[in-house]
């Protein structure tokens, strides 16, 4: 793969993660300026790309949870927070951004299978007891970890990334 292809795939991976996070996530504060959003987007991208090497080597679930929490905390401070609703990047948005970014990298064969999958309304509706949870409002790491545990039971031993990919494929087929 040449450098231009590499840059293209990095851009697509980040754009997919960003769009999947902000599209329904009500991440931005009403009235935030395009300049403020740009600062947030740049900080998110820098943070996600900074984690790439960790995930290239493979990562423990414990470290993955710490990375989600750190992403939430880092983007809820300083200039990036100025664009955010209530000045906060919630756990639900942090997990969606990181997990979707990792899903893209995994599907592009750039990293080993990530420990989790992106949890959104489609996935949560398939996890017993979690159908009424709104990922956009989720802001507690222990609640997120509980969702992961319930999803593992529902996945019946399949890795969450593979389980979610099959859910996504089935949902796409149903739309045709």
pLDDT tens-digit series, residues 155-167: 999 999 999 999 8
- What is the pLDDT confidence band of residue 170, given thresholds at 50, 70 and 90? confident
Segments forming the whole domain that contains residue 122: 3-175
Contact 98, 74 (CB under 8 A): no
Q: For residue 161, give every residue at least 6 positions away whose Cβ sits within 8 Å of its Cβ, in sequence order, or none.
A: 103, 106, 113, 114, 115, 116, 117
The structure's pTM equals 0.95
pLDDT tens-digit series, residues 95-134: 999 999 999 999 999 999 999 999 999 999 999 999 899 9
Q: Between 16 and 173, name the one with better pLDDT.
A: 16
Contact 67, 119 (CB under 8 A): no
Residue 57, burial from CB neighbour count under 10 angstroms (0-12, 13-18, 19+): exposed
Mean model confidence pLDDT for the chain: 94
Domain count, the chain: 1
pLDDT at 145 over 80: yes
């Amino acid at each position: 793969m040449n450098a231009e292809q590499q840059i293209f795939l990095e851009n697509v991976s980040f754009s997919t993660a960003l769009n999947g996070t902000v599209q329904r996530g009500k991440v931005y504060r009403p009235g935030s300026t395009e300049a403020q959003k740009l600062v947030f987007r740049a900080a998110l991208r820098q943070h996600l790309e900074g984690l790439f090497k960790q995930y290239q080597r493979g990562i423990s679930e414990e470290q993955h949870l710490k990375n989600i929490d750190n992403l939430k905390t880092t983007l809820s401070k300083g200039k990036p927070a100025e664009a955010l609703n209530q000045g906060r990047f919630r756990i639900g948005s942090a997990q969606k951004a990181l997990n979707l970014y990792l899903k893209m990298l995994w599907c592009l064969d750039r990293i080993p299978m990530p420990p989790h999958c992106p949890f959104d309304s489609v996935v949560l509706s398939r996890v017993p007891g979690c159908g009424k949870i709104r990922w956009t409002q989720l802001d507690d790491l222990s609640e997120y970890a509980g969702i992961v545990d319930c999803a593992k039971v529902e996945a019946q031993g399949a890795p969450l990334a593979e389980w979610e990919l099959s859910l996504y494929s089935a949902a796409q087929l149903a739309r045709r």
